[in-house]
């Protein structure tokens, strides 16, 4: 996993929010815009609309001239976006006979939208890789703990027994489905933007569609049916894929933060610090702590995703042929969304690959429930004799008594004369109660579901 900072310069919070994938900051935007301008020059030359060598000249200048994103950004205030300033500087940097080739037929939105697609392609590729690595970690956890029992929890309360293998299998399925969404968008929804002033390519006459096709070839992007200046569904599709990935990752991270609580202690993060003498998870005030840093970082990233997605969706309402403000509102949220989702995935790969599971603590916590989570199974023994409603009420009374006086459900059922009398009347023996209170016998299809998730993941790899 690579750091996103690189040429952008290390930021104070980049270790948390820019952990994985390629950059999406100013220099990454600039590089994608220059790549687009260079590809357009090559496409124009291939179409016979630029002199021989013009494409190579623009490509060389785009690759070698040290354009300053800060200076371009300041000049963007004159036009509302940085493309006019970039085009002016690029024209000055190429031989005179190639200057007219720069940006020919294009409008600023063509360059920025196509650059956004290039950023998305790289970012979604890295995201897919980290989702796959996180899934690999879940595969190992699910397989290793297929039979590791633990208490299930619903509405944050103890429910019925489950296995940790099933928990990890659920994580795996979420990651696999999110990865499928990312792959679909990356393969089919990233398209070149080339429509000129108002989506007609009028300045190129009859050659416009041919140039658009050649530009798509040069960049390896899809060729859309027509320019999509005010059809922002492609941006929304990228956002939705990121949201799906964030949802899968945040589910894992939230479970880990809860299971790693001191009072629960069923899992803990592995891994160490980033340098000699450093320890992952330490506190600035409390020397004893080992915080689940990866899970916390994932949640810090994914908590930002809904707001960024909402901004992009709100900006999708765009008027006439070119939007006044809504398009501009997309640029930074789009890049931020790719960045924080990619960072969450990089953290996720580290989290699942190094998670330490404590089966003994899981069993101890399960035993500490005093059999109450098996009340449903006990009630099932009484249904034939008492009916479902009366059986439920009887076991509920036993559970309430057990909780009130601090005894096990077995002790409440067999030790309270009134309750024991109902059991005798229903023909239920103490041996049957003991069998019903064995959590190993009430795991339902946990193993089957775990195996199904593992099998589905294996099929995806083929």
Q: Which residues are marked as active site?
A: 283, 322
Name every residue whose Cβ is closer than 8 Å to that of residue 156 and which is 6 or more positions away in sequence: 258
Give the residue carrying structure tokens 């008492």. Answer: 386
Rounded to an integer, what distance in angstroms lies between the CA atom of residue 433 and that of residue 217?
71
CB atoms within 10 A of CB 14: 18
User: Which tokens belong to 350?
Assistant: 């580290």
Give the residue carrying structure tokens 């940085």. Answer: 82
User: Apex CA 216: angle with CA 214 and CA 219, to 5°?
Assistant: 110
CB atoms within 10 A of CB 424: 10
Q: Using an 8 Å Cβ cutoff, are 103 and 37 in contact?
A: yes
- Rg (the chain; Cα; Å): 30
Q: Using an 8 Å Cβ cutoff, are 395 and 303 in contact?
A: no
10 Å CB burial of residue 325 (0-12, 13-18, 19+) is: exposed
As beta bridge partners, residue 125 has none
Rounded to an integer, what distance in angstroms lies between the CA atom of residue 122 and that of residue 125?
5
List helix spans (H) across 145-266.
Answer: 164-188, 208-219, 233-259
């Amino acid at each position: 996993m690579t750091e996103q900072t690189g040429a952008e310069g290390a930021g104070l919070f980049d270790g948390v929010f820019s952990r994985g994938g390629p950059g999406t900051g100013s220099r990454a935007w600039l590089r994608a815009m220059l790549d687009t301008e260079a590809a357009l020059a090559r496409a124009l030359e291939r179409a016979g609309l630029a002199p021989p060598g013009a494409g190579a000249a623009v490509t060389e200048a785009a690759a070698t001239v040290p354009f300053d994103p800060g200076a371009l950004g300041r000049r963007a205030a004159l036009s509302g976006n940085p493309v006019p300033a970039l085009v002016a500087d690029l024209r000055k940097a190429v031989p005179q006979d190639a200057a007219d080739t720069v940006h020919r037929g294009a409008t600023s939105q063509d360059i920025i939208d196509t650059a956004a697609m290039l950023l998305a392609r790289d970012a979604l590729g890295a995201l897919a890789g980290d989702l796959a690595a996180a899934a690999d970690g879940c595969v190992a956890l699910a397989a290793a703990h297929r039979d590791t029992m633990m208490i299930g929890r619903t509405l944050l309360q103890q429910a019925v027994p489950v296995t940790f293998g099933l928990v990890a299998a659920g994580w795996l399925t979420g990651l696999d489905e999110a990865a499928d969404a990312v792959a679909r968008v990356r393969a089919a929804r990233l398209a070149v933007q080339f429509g000129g002033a108002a989506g007609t390519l009028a300045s190129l006459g009859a050659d416009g569609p041919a140039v658009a096709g050649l530009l798509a070839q040069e960049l390896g992007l899809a060729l859309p049916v027509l320019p999509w200046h005010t059809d922002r569904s492609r941006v929304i599709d990228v956002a939705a894929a990121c949201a799906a990935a964030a949802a899968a990752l945040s589910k894992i991270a939230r479970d880990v933060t809860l299971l790693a609580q001191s009072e629960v202690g069923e899992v803990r993060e592995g891994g160490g610090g980033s340098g000699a003498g450093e320890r992952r998870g330490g506190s600035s005030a409390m020397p004893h702590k080992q915080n689940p840093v990866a899970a916390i970082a994932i949640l810090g990233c994914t908590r930002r995703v809904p707001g960024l997605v909402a901004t992009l969706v709100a900006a999708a309402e765009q008027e006439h042929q070119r939007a006044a403000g809504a398009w501009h509102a997309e640029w930074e949220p789009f890049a931020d969304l790719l960045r924080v989702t990619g960072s969450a995935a990089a953290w996720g790969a580290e989290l699942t690959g190094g998670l330490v599971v404590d089966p003994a603590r899981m069993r101890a916590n399960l035993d500490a429930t005093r059999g109450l989570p098996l009340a449903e199974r006990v009630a099932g023994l009484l249904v034939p004799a008492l009916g479902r409603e009366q059986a439920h009420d009887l076991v509920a009374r036993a559970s309430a008594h057990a909780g009130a006086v601090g005894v096990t459900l077995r002790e409440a059922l067999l030790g309270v004369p009134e309750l024991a009398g109902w059991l005798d009347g229903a023909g239920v023996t103490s041996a049957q109660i003991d069998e019903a209170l064995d959590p190993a016998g009430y795991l339902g299809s946990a193993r089957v579901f775990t195996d199904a998730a593992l099998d589905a993941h294996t099929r995806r790899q083929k």
